[in-house]
Amino acid sequence: MTADDRIRTVGEQAALARIIARLTPADAAVVGPGDDSAVLAAGGQTAITTDTMFEGGDFRLDWSTFADLGTKCVTTNLTDVAAMGARPTALVIALGVLADTTVEQLEQFADAASAALAKQAPGVGVVGGDLSVSPTTTIAVTALGDLEGRSPVLRSGARPGDAIVVCGELGLAGEGLRLLLEGTPPDDLRRTHPREMQAHLAPIAPVAAGAQLARLGATSMLDVSDGLVLDGFRVARASAVRLDFDRAALDSYDAPLESVLYGGEDHALLATVPADAVERVLSELGSDARVVGSVEAGEPQVTTGGQPLEERGWDPFTR
């Protein structure tokens, strides 16, 4: 086989075999890919999430490489598991690709997915997969996590007096998208704005912080995917509290305030923690974590310095 092999000529089975060989095995896998199902070792309660990316609505192949997509699909799913306070254990990935996709592109996807797993969740592997030809490039991922005996951290547990902690970057991914939409060629932007491009095209998130925050007593947590304000409203409503952000803290991020508040796909973790846990959270999580505000009693809303913020954010259906 050569680097120019395409699915059309190689066939699904042969291509899939070559990809699976490049994917990290999961520590938890008792039976890996190749039978009707994979089998994972028994653990505690299982967190499970699924997320699908479609060409057009979720990514553009003139912006994203297959390596970018391999990274991004892993990160978006790992952070949803982490946001429950779980330790990720395994992924399954179903790919739909054009018939003239090269096996090399699929290998780049697999290598990037493996590298993203090694960086964010060592020991986690891809235990199952599916490869089909489709007129629309599609990446469907399901991720599992082990709660290791802890209760899941829901959106509904924030209490007045808690501190709001964000772990990860805010606004960079939104800036990346904004720059791409302005029309500068992606390759130029990768040179001039590498952090924004990585944040949007191939994000890496502090996944292990999810289980750490749970162990440290986080009362609520979610993955910031639709913008800090819109996701803040979700916590505010579910917990029946007001989230008040500190303007100086928001200004400390490396992106304009508009993107920090309303940019999408940050994949940072937004958690609330009891006031007496803040010091330990900051010392254990290091520079990834910042206190960005406090939980207040009152009508469910999101404010900064007490001033209401407009409820809007990232909605792919209104673009």
Alpha-carbon torsion (51, 55, 60, 66), positive or negative: positive
Query: In 3-state terms, what secondary structure has residue 154?
Result: coil
Q: How far is the CB of 35 from a second copy (least distance, A)?
A: 6
Q: Is residue 249 a contact point for a second copy (CB under 8 A)?
A: no
Question: Which residue in the set 19, 23, 73, 93 belongs to the binding site for a second copy (CB under 8 A)?
Answer: 93
Q: Is residue 222 a contact point for a second copy (CB under 8 A)?
A: yes
Confirm or deny that 63 is annotated as ligand binding. no
Q: Extract the tokens encoding 96.
A: 């739909």
Give, as ranges, the residues between 152 and 191 that touch a second copy (CB under 8 A): 152, 154-155
Q: Is residue 20 a contact point for a second copy (CB under 8 A)?
A: no
Q: Give dist(CA 203, CA 196) in Å, integer.
A: 9
Name the segment binding a second copy (CB under 8 A); options: 29-37, 178-186, 192-200, 279-287.
29-37
Instruction: Identify the residue whose tokens are 């959270």.
Output: 281
Q: Give dist(CA 280, CA 216) in Å, integer.
A: 8
Question: Which residue in the set 56, 160, 286, 298 belongs to the binding site for a second copy (CB under 8 A)?
Answer: 56
Q: How far is the CB of 138 from a second copy (least distance, A)?
A: 5
For a second copy, the closer CB: 38 or 309: 38
Please name which of 243, 115, 119, 226 lies closest in space to residue 173, comparing C-alpha atoms.
226
Question: Which residue in the set 5, 19, 23, 49 belongs to the binding site for a second copy (CB under 8 A)?
Answer: 49
Q: Is residue 96 a contact point for a second copy (CB under 8 A)?
A: yes
Structural element, H or E, at residue 138? strand 138-146
Instruction: Identify the residue whose tokens are 């054009």.
Output: 98
Name the segment binding a second copy (CB under 8 A); options: 40-48, 187-195, 199-207, 290-298.
40-48
Alpha-carbon torsion (118, 121, 124, 128), positive or negative: negative
What are the DSSP calls for 187-214, one per residue?
HHHHHH-HHHHHHHHS----THHHHHHH
Q: Is residue 306 a contact point for a second copy (CB under 8 A)?
A: no
Query: In 3-state terms, what secondary structure has residue 55?
Result: strand
Structural element, H or E, at residue 10? helix 7-10
Stated length of the chain: 319
Q: Give dist(CA 52, CA 58) in Å, integer.
A: 9
For a second copy, the closer CB: 96 or 203: 96
Q: Give dist(CA 296, CA 277) in Å, integer.
A: 17
Q: What are the CA-CA distances from residue 46 to residues 76, 124, 140 (Å)?
A: 18, 14, 19
What are the DSSP calls for 58-124, one per residue?
TB-TTT--HHHHHHHHHHHHHHHHHTTTPEEEEEEEEEEE-TT-BHHHHHHHHHHHHHHHHHHSTT-
For a second copy, the closer CB: 51 or 246: 51
Q: Is residue 134 a contact point for a second copy (CB under 8 A)?
A: yes
Q: Is residue 133 a contact point for a second copy (CB under 8 A)?
A: yes
Q: Contact letters (x/-) for a second copy, 61-80, by CB under 8 A?
A: ------------------xx
Q: How far is the CB of 236 from a second copy (least distance, A)?
A: 15
Question: What is the contact surface with a second copy in residues (CB under 8 A)?
Answer: 7, 11-12, 30-31, 35-52, 54, 56-58, 79-81, 83-84, 86, 90, 92-94, 96, 127-130, 132-136, 138, 140, 142-145, 147, 152, 154-155, 221-223, 315-318
Residues of the binding site for substrate:
58, 265, 314
Residues of the binding site for Mg(2+):
36, 49-51, 80, 130, 223, 226
Residues of the binding site:
36, 49-51, 58, 80, 129-130, 155, 223, 225-226, 265, 314
